[in-house]
C-alpha cells in the first residue's frame, strides 16, 4: 500500500505533507498515541508556518492543543488554542473558531479559570448552533454542564446536561448519550440523589457494553 506521507515528501509537496501529518495526528490521537500526535502536529505546524498557510496552521494548533489537554498541559493548550482562535477569526472561519474556543474552554477549566471556561464554551455553543452542528452543540452543552457543576451552579448544569442528552438521543449518537448520562449521574450524586445517579450511570454502562460487543 502506498504511503501518502512518503508520496507527498517524494513529490516535494510540502502543503500536502502538512495536511497528511494533521490527518495522521488525528488517527494517533484516537488510538491514544498522544506523544505521536503531538510530534506529527508540531511538524505540520512548522511546515504551514514556513509556507505562510494560516488555515493549516490554525488546524494544527487546534489539534496540538487537544493533545496537550489530554496530557494535562493546560497552559500549553491555552497558548495553542488562543493562537488558533486568532487565526480562525482573521479568516472568518466560524467552525474553526468554535473548535478553538472549545479547546480553550476545556483548558481554562483545567487551570481553574471557570469564568473564562464558561465564556469560551458559550461562544462556541452559539457558533455551533448558528452552523447547525447539533453533535458539537451537544458536546459543548455537556462541557458547560461540567463547568457549572464544578462551580456549584447545579440548576444550570442540570439544564445543559439534559439538553445535551436530548440532542444525542435525537441524533442516535450512543457515545455522546453515554457521556451525557454519566454527567447527569454525577450531578444527581453531588445533589444528594444517589438512586437517580445510579440509574444514569447504569444506562451509560449498558450503552458502553453494547458498543463494545462484537458485531456492533
Per residue in 140-184, pLDDT tens? 999 999 999 999 999 999 999 999 999 999 999 999 999 999 999
**Please, are residues 77 and 68 in contact by the beta-carbon 8 Å criterion?**
yes
Cα–Cα distance measured from residue 78 to residue 135, given in angstroms and rounded to the nearest whole number: 24
Separation CA 106–CA 53 (nearest Å): 26
Closest among 78, 84, 79, 120 to 102, alpha carbons compared: 120
- pLDDT band per the 50, 70, 90 thresholds, residue 216: very low
Task: State yes or no: pLDDT of 70 exceeds 70.
Answer: yes
65-69, 71-75, 209-213: segment of lowest average pLDDT: 209-213
Between CA 63 and CA 175 the distance in angstroms is 21
Torsion of CA 54, 55, 56, 60, to 10 degrees: 90
CATH topology of domain 1-112: 1.25.40
End-to-end CA distance of the chain: 28
How many CB atoms lie under 10 A from the CB of residue 12? Answer: 8
Give residue-wise pLDDT tens across range 2-19.
Answer: 688 888 888 888 989 998
Percent of the chain with pLDDT over 70: 98
pLDDT score of 34: 86
| pLDDT tens digits along 15-37 | 899 989 988 888 888 888 888 88
Name the residue with cell 453533535: 135
Rounded mean pLDDT, 46-65: 94
Q: Where in the chain is the domain with CATH 1.25.40.10?
A: 1-112, 133-216
Maximum distance among all alpha carbons in the chain? 62
Q: Kindly report, residue by residue over 105-124, the tens digit of the pLDDT.
A: 999 999 999 999 999 999 99
pLDDT cut 90: percent of the chain above it: 79
Task: Give the whole-angstrom CA distance, residue 71 versus residue 112.
Answer: 16
At the top level of CATH, the class of 133-216 is: mainly alpha
Cα 176 from Cα 129, distance rounded (Å): 17
Amino acid at each position: 500500500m502506498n504511503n501518502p506521507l512518503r508520496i507527498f515528501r517524494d513529490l516535494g509537496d510540502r502543503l500536502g505533507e502538512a495536511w497528511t501529518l494533521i490527518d495522521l495526528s488525528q488517527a494517533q490521537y484516537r488510538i491514544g498515541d498522544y506523544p505521536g500526535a503531538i510530534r506529527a502536529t508540531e511538524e505540520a505546524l512548522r511546515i504551514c508556518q514556513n509556507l505562510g498557510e494560516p488555515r493549516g496552521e490554525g488546524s494544527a494548533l487546534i489539534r496540538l492543543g487537544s493533545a496537550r489537554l489530554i496530557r494535562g498541559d493546560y497552559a500549553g493548550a491555552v497558548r495553542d488554542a488562543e493562537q488558533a482562535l486568532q487565526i480562525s477569526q482573521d479568516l472568518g472561519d466560524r467552525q474553526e473558531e468554535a473548535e478553538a474556543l472549545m479547546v480553550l474552554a476545556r483548558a481554562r477549566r483545567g487551570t481553574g479559570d471557570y469564568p473564562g471556561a464558561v465564556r469560551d464554551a458559550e461562544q462556541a455553543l452559539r457558533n455551533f448552533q448558528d452552523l447547525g452542528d447539533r453533535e458539537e452543540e451537544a458536546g459543548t452543552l455537556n462541557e458547560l454542564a461540567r463547568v457549572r457543576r464544578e462551580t456549584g451552579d447545579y440548576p444550570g448544569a442540570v439544564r445543559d446536561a439534559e439538553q445535551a442528552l436530548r440532542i444525542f438521543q435525537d441524533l442516535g449518537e450512543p457515545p455522546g448519550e453515554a457521556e451525557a448520562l454519566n454527567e447527569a449521574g454525577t450531578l444527581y450524586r453531588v445533589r444528594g440523589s444517589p438512586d437517580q445517579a445510579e440509574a444514569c450511570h447504569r444506562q451509560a454502562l449498558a450503552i458502553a457494553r453494547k458498543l463494545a460487543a462484537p458485531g456492533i
